[in-house]
Structure 1
Amino acid sequence: MRALLPLLSVVRGWRVGAAARPPRRVMSLYLTEERGLPHSEDYRLFFKSVAGHYISAFHDIPLKVDSPKNLFNMVVEIPRWTNAKMEISTEEPMNPIKQDVKSGKLRFIPNIFPHKGYIWNYGAFPQTWEDPYQKDKDTNCTGDNDPVDVCEIGSKVLSRGDVIQVKILGILALIDQDATDWKIITINVNDPEAEKFHDIDDVKKFKPGYLEATLNWFRLYKVPDGKPENKFAFNGEFKNKAFAIEVVNNAHECWKAMLMKKCDHGAISCTNVHVCDSPFRCSPEEARSLIESVPAPSMSKEVSKEEERWHFLD
């Protein structure tokens, strides 16, 4: 039904504590609300419906837009060429986007020559979950306890919090600390070149070198922090569209089981507004109350970002 709705022109609301930033007009079926300063531990980006009700970026945005055409919603966490490691907070009520923290420090991805930050628009598929208690039949590793990661390779630099429709093209299986961390290769359906891309071989044909750069990026991005190179299943081979869609559908089924309380969800917050029959479902008023109960941002200063430093690796 959502696929038949016309795109609505809405205002994205920006807030820092009680102070509002100038709104920016976007085309979307969702609103976002920003709290706290970017590049601070207080920063959160909450999602709302066009009616102004708070929703979960993880649970309330549907995965599938058009099943016969294999169109999916992607939540953009990190715009291309930026360094801040932003992610859907799976453990916080209503699952806002925040910056990852490691060892007490905000996390920024290093620039590895010749790349500046992330080399795609990076984000996640809502309503998917890589089950940490279930071994994958192909990789023989459990899931990484997060939504499935998405790399969007179109020509536009998107914005944090954008919800876009994408076509799945292929998949890479990163193995991170003995867990499967799938990376889905996609393209925005509204990209000027989207009609040329139907499967992973089209990426090789029309964007030569991009998949090799993607593999190399994921292999090396932790090395400047003193960690070893990352490893991959299938010797780093990109699998095709059909394989990728099967992985995404399986992750969607795992998410359904979690939202219906049929498996252990650990520390993940499953609170949602729109998932019918879910025992974790709450009313819009309860969702607002949950968010308003969170302490107000402290207005702490932005941290030093180290985004201009480059790393040259053999």
Structure 2
Amino acid sequence: MAFSVEERGRPYTTDYQVYFKNAEGKYISPFHDIPMYADEAQNVFHAVIEVPRWTNAKMEIATKERLNPVKQDTKNANLRYVANVFPHKGYIWNYGAIPQTWEDPNHKDEATGFTGDNDPIDICDIGEKVCSRGQVIRVKVLGTLALVDEGEMDWKVIVINTEDPQAHEFNDIEDVRRLKPGYLEATRDWFKRYKVPDGKPENEFAFNGEFQNRDFAIKTVRNTHSLWRALITKQSDGGDLNCINTTVTDSPFRISAAEADAIVKSASPLGPAEPVPSSVDKWFFYEK
């Protein structure tokens, strides 16, 4: 199943948006219309890349906007860039989300006791290739880290692109520890400290920061898919989440291809990118 993107607006401005198309060239929502599974029998999932590795712009699926384009997040009307906390530079994996999943803020996770963060479940792709913004890849789930972000459950699922040359060697979280020594520790350290430059305390984790294995992670992803099913069929209240989609047959939020086309065409045409502020390259140092 092939997907493509269409950029609108000017990169590194608030009007920049990345819309998605299916193989037929019809506009779709990356949140709701891309299937969770790429190959269910083999436990291969789709992942939408929001942030390519080594970059800083905090791009994410805009869950509250029509067709859920990927946009740069803002805070107090300012574009957000993740800080570089030594020795890290930007995001240290291709970062994104698994479509058709939802961490329900009204649902208490059985394993941790925390409620969800109201987003699709996040992934960290540890493959060698630096992906592009909006790229949809097929991934193997290897494990998960249970980040507790400001009191909310924010799972970080460790995956590897099935096209990676070493993908066949990675089947569980211990394979990451063995074949990429230090990567899991760096991942935990990154999530623990990345908000400190913004004046916030270090993040915490469930399970004492220990990574959970493949089977646990797949079960967690499936649970968030069930929560998404309730959302998209209006059995759960999504609040201000935008559930417009073009392919979910039993969803009351489904719209026509013509309506989706009109949404995208109303956005600004693609223009030249604004320069990234020089402050984004600053490195932050502090004792652990």
Q: Do they fold alike, i.e. is TM over 0.5?
A: yes
> SS at 1:211's partner residue?
helix
Q: Which amino acid is 1:42 matched to?
A: D
Q: Which amino acid is 2:259 matched to?
A: E
Correspondence for 2:134: 161
* Separation of aligned partners in 2, 1:114 and 1:178: 27
* Separation of aligned partners in 1, 2:73 and 2:196: 18
* Structure 1, unaligned runs of 5 or more: 3-28
Instruction: Give % identity.
Output: 55
**8 A contact 1:57–1:126 mirrored in 2:** yes
* Structure 1 position 294, deviation (Å): 4.3
**8 A contact 2:7–2:270 mirrored in 1:** no
* Separation of aligned partners in 2, 1:41 and 1:240: 38
Computed over aligned residues only, the root mean square deviation of the Cα atoms, in angstroms, reads: 1.5
Say yes or no: does 1:217 pair with 2:212: no
**8 A contact 2:8–2:271 mirrored in 1:** no
* Separation of aligned partners in 1, 2:179 and 2:102: 31
* Structure 1 position 51, deviation (Å): 2.0
Say yes or no: does 1:128 pair with 2:105: no
**8 A contact 1:37–1:302 mirrored in 2:** no
Cα shift readout 1:48-82 (whole Å, capped 9, x = no counterpart): 12222111011110000111211000000000000
* Structure 1 position 118, deviation (Å): 0.3
* Structure 1 position 97, deviation (Å): 0.2
Say yes or no: does 1:264 pair with 2:237: yes
- Select 2:111's aligned residue among 133, 138, 145: 138
Structure-2 change in CA distance of 1:267 and 1:313 (3 Å): same
**8 A contact 1:90–1:146 mirrored in 2:** yes
The alignment's TM-score, normalised by the length of structure 2, stands at: 0.96
Correspondence for 1:229: 202
* Separation of aligned partners in 1, 2:238 and 2:110: 21
* Structure 2, unaligned runs of 5 or more: none
* Separation of aligned partners in 2, 1:296 and 1:83: 24
Say yes or no: does 1:32 pair with 2:19: no
Structure-2 change in CA distance of 1:38 and 1:260 (3 Å): same
Say yes or no: does 1:307 pair with 2:280: yes
* Structure 1 position 110, deviation (Å): 0.8
Say yes or no: does 1:204 pair with 2:177: yes
Q: Which amino acid is 2:11 matched to?
A: P
* Separation of aligned partners in 2, 1:106 and 1:66: 36
* Separation of aligned partners in 2, 1:239 and 1:77: 24
Correspondence for 2:223: 250
> SS at 1:60's partner residue?
coil
Q: Which runs of 4+ in 1 moved over 3 A?
A: 293-303
* Separation of aligned partners in 2, 1:65 and 1:296: 31
**8 A contact 2:8–2:268 mirrored in 1:** no
The one of the two structures with greater contact order (alpha-carbon pairs below 8 A, sep at least 6) is: 2
Structure-2 change in CA distance of 1:288 and 1:313 (3 Å): same
* Separation of aligned partners in 2, 1:246 and 1:151: 17
Structure-2 change in CA distance of 1:135 and 1:213 (3 Å): same
Q: Which structure features the higher share of strand residues?
A: 1
Cα shift readout 1:273-298 (whole Å, capped 9, x = no counterpart): 11111111111011112233446689
Structure 1 residues 89-104: aligned runs within 5 Å: 89-104=62-77
Aligned length: 287
The alignment's TM-score, normalised by the length of structure 1, stands at: 0.88
* Separation of aligned partners in 1, 2:261 and 2:199: 42
Correspondence for 1:46: 19
Q: Which amino acid is 1:240 matched to?
A: N
> SS at 2:281's partner residue?
coil
Q: Which amino acid is 2:31 matched to?
A: F
